[in-house]
Structure 1
Amino acid sequence: MKPAKHSRSFPSVFDDNMFQGFFSPVLRSDFFNKASKMPAVDIEETEGEYTLLAELPGFSKDDIHVSLDDGQLVIKAEHDEQSEKKQSSGNMLKERHYGSYYRSFNFGKNIKEQDIKAKYEDGVLELVLPKSANNKQEVKKISIE
């Protein structure tokens, strides 16, 4: 038999609901889950190329760095912003914002590195990665002894 839960007409110090708006992001388990903080990435493969779309809102083109090394595509973005407002009463308001992003993808060695195209517009990074001619790997049959 389960104990009955009683509702109260006022919040208690020991009740999570009282501090729900303040502490709930810290108390929730997905707060520390990296996947919940990652912007969306879509990869489409056609016969001749891969098209990768990564949502990077709030970053400028200069904040984003893309590299390809030995088939490993890396997308990094970092943004640091500070603002300061002084009021005539002598009070000061300082705000800081920091954001970073890192993703890597393994495309193997079947990418034409010299023909990769990148475009960043309206918070979306688009990469077009043409496949090289030798993108098909032969299937090798292994005999069992």
Structure 2
Amino acid sequence: MSMLPARHSLFDEFFRDFTPGFLVKPLHGDALPAQIKMDVKETGEAYQVEAELPGVGKEDIHVEIDGALVTIKAEVRQYDQQGKDERPLRNERYYGLVSRSFQLPQDIDRETASARYENGVLNLTLPKRRNGGAGQRLRIE
């Protein structure tokens, strides 16, 4: 009888107790890029959008409006804070560019649209427009 099958079964027993995915994965690169999660509400006069963008600087967020099409783009920057005697065991946070576009039922009045970023949440107030117009980028406050 060979020792090899017994050795494999011992390793199988040992690793079975670990939660799946606990072992170290590649340091940079997750299987799934981050997606901007958001809520959209409609009132009689405007659309209200709340988009989660945790860890993003206000200067790294761009919102573009073209008729009823809204595009949110952001860059999540990585700040390496690893000490000399540390080694990462797991990196799950996403770093890089994220964007999301969505179509609203009615064109947006870009002249009165506003954006505010606070505590990792981007709040857009997008008043409904009666006439069409050219696209515009919003300034984030």
TM-score computed with the length of structure 2 as normaliser:
0.62
Partner of 2:12: 12
Higher-Rg member (1/2): 1
Structure with more of its chain in helix, by fraction? 1
Q: CA RMSD in A?
A: 3.8
The CA distance in 2 between the partners of 1:134 and 1:69, in whole Å, is 12
Q: Unaligned regions of 5+ residues in structure 1, if any?
A: 1-8, 136-145
Q: What are the superposed Cα offsets for residues 67-114 of structure 1, whole Å, 9 maximum, x if unpaired?
A: 012421100101223436775xxx7989xx723321111125521111
- Tell me the CA shift for residue 22 of structure 1: 1.5
**Partner amino acid for 1:41?**
M
Identity over aligned residues, as a percent? 33
- Hey, what does 1:51 align to over in structure 2? 48
What amino acid sits opposite 1:118 in the alignment?
A
Equivalent residue, structure 2, for 1:126: 123
Higher strand fraction (1 or 2): 1
Structure 2 gaps of 5+ residues are 1-8, 89-93, 133-141
SS at match of 2:97: strand
Distance verdict in 2 for CA 1:73–1:117, change over 3 Å: same
Tell me if structure 2 keeps the 8 A contact 1:72–1:104.
yes
Count of residues paired in the alignment: 116
Of 44-53 and 101-110, more deviation after overlay is shown by 101-110
